């Protein structure tokens, strides 16, 4: 039984044990050492650390909605459940899709923890080119983005092979 569980979910558990603590620890550090909206330049014209709270979803979507926390939390829980259900059902050749799902789940979990604790997601990485800023993000967002990129690679590879 334990060997079967490890075979099906071992990589997922490893990703959770790496991404979620790293995500929560970096957010803790930002909250301890920055005032809200405070920014520090790391690489002039390209990279800052900034403490912001995103009460919505990606790019602040739903930020002003009264039901944003329960709605976005429910979406995260559904995504987590779907990934847990899907992983053991994937074909061995779907390595990119598996990796993508394995990265998305701890990212969703890290942001869900913030949403439930603070009512908002803590973001702190500010990538920009001079005055043109990308929305601030965090370690969990990075895992989700890398996971989605892996899923796109899987989609492109599966289209070429068919």
Catalytic, out of 23, 123, 126, 154? 123
114 is known as an active-site residue: no
123 is known as an active-site residue: yes
- Distance (Å, whole) CA 63 – CA 29: 24
pLDDT of residue 2: 78
Q: Express as a percent the part of the chain with pLDDT over 90.
A: 80
Q: How many domains does the chain have?
A: 1
For residue 69, give its domain range: 2-161
- Distance (Å, whole) CA 65 – CA 120: 12
- Per-residue CA distances from 7 to 4, 11, 28 (Å): 5, 8, 33
Are the CB atoms for 123 and 111 separated by under 8 Å? no
Catalytic, out of 114, 126, 141, 154? 141
Using one digit for the tens of pLDDT, what is the confidence trace for 5-60? 777 789 999 999 999 999 999 999 999 999 999 999 999 999 999 999 998 777 66
Q: Express as a percent the part of the chain with pLDDT over 70.
A: 94
Are the CB atoms for 135 and 60 separated by under 8 Å? yes
pLDDT of residue 161: 67
Other C-beta atoms closer than 10 Å to the C-beta of 21 total 13
């Amino acid at each position: 039984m334990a060997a079967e569980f490890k075979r099906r979910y071992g990589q997922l558990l490893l990703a959770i044990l790496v991404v979620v603590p790293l995500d929560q620890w970096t957010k803790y550090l930002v909250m301890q050492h920055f005032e809200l909206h405070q920014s520090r330049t790391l690489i002039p014209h390209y990279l800052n650390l900034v403490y912001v709270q995103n009460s919505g979803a990606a790019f602040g979507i739903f930020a002003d909605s009264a039901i944003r926390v329960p709605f976005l939390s429910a979406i995260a829980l559904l995504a987590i459940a779907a990934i847990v259900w899907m992983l053991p059902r994937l074909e061995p050749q779907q390595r990119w899709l598996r990796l993508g799902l394995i990265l998305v789940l701890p990212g969703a979990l890290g942001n869900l923890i913030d949403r439930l604790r603070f009512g908002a997601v803590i973001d702190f990485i500010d990538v920009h080119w001079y005055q043109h800023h990308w929305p601030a993000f965090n370690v969990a967002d990075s895992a989700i983005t890398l996971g989605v990129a892996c899923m796109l690679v899987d989609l492109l590879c599966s289209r070429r092979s068919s």
